[in-house]
Chains A and B, each alone.
Chain A
């Protein structure tokens, strides 16, 4: 499964988050491997 598919699967919008693996930004096509931890960072802020 790609990072993008995973973001959509958990009900989030890929336009509103960044994905990080092992402290490094990864692109949305990156395939998630068994044991990977992907951290999602929300980018929307302000009022």
Chain B
């Protein structure tokens, strides 16, 4: 199989685009797709100060790499949750980020260590709180959203950037559709505008398949944490991804079509009623927005 753009052997074939590329042309194609999504959804410009949530995984490191190469002002944020899982998961994640930064001297990283700052690791909080029992992922999401928002606000960042890829988005969409979570469907988008103290959030990889992101890191030689978070093993999202990949195998482009058609329907106002926003109040302790009066759910974690 030859590269579409030159006569060299292709290293990667994207059936959904009927496009096979050699390593050199793939490394050209991938950042162009990221740039196109940033422009199409008006995510941010080179004048904006962007905070990229980095986990040490393939998506966030690939995204950070591309944004730096494209000349965006992109600083990283790593939140250490103190997850061990028998192999030092959090420690290993940070090592991968440090490895990446060793090759990018211009990269700036902000770090928030949850056990050091709040006295407990994620598994410890999850075990203590009813809301985290048997589902630390819910507490993890809550902590990450709070910290990302706080750091974005304190650091004067214009936008918070996450590495969600198309498979992530399609799997979430699948779950929300399966359960007709109209409120969640109304809020799922490549860009979430800032409101009432909540930072603007964007997902520049939302049109790229997970496999395409992995191919970029592999060709580029970016070393990422390959191991799954010990708490995410067997997660529902991964089962949805498996199902969607089975559909994709027989009909290339299914995942993209599912997501893009949803975005079009959303633009046409299908979920407008559900989008009516609840009123937010500042938390009495941290000042971050919360739906209920008093303390926000993050601050209530530490009671």
Q: Which residues of A contact B (CB under 8 A)?
A: 13-18, 20, 24-30, 41, 43-47
Contacts and interface: CB of A to CB of B under 8 A. Distances in A.
Interface string B1-27: 100000001111100000010010000
Contacts of B245: 13, 15-16, 44
B284 interface: no
Contacts of A41: 214, 218, 226
Contact of A27 (B20, B58, B218): B20
B3 to A, nearest CB: 9
A27 to B, nearest CB: 5
Interface residues of B, number: 36
A4 B294 CA distance: 57
Nearest to B3: A27
Contacts of B48: none
Contacts of B9: 27
B168 A46 contact: yes
A30 B78 CA distance: 39
Nearest to B20: A27
Contacts, number: 76
A12 B246 CA distance: 10
Interface string B259-280: 0000000000000000000000
Specify the main secondary structure of chain A where it touches its partner.
loop
Contacts of B248: 15
A27 B10 contact: yes
A29 B1 contact: yes
A25 B242 contact: no
Contacts of B215: 18, 25
B167 interface: yes
Interface of B: 1, 9-13, 20, 23, 57-59, 137, 167-168, 210-211, 213-215, 218-219, 226, 228-229, 231-233, 235, 237-238, 241-242, 245-246, 248-249
A27 B249 contact: no
24 contacts: A13-B242, A13-B246, A15-B211, A15-B249, A18-B211, A18-B215, A20-B218, A24-B11, A24-B23, A25-B12, A25-B23, A27-B9, A27-B13, A29-B13, A43-B58, A43-B210, A43-B213, A44-B210, A44-B242, A45-B210, A46-B57, A46-B168, A47-B137, A47-B238
| Most chain B CB within a 10 A radius of its CB, from A29, A30, A44 | A44
B167 A26 contact: no
B245 to A, nearest CB: 4
Given A44-B167, A47-B229, A14 B249 contact: yes
A17 B219 CA distance: 14
B211 A26 contact: no
Closest 3 CB pairs of A and B: A47-B232, A47-B235, A43-B214
B125 to A, nearest CB: 17
Contact of A25 (B219, B237, B246): B219
Nearest to A14: B249
B218 A18 contact: yes
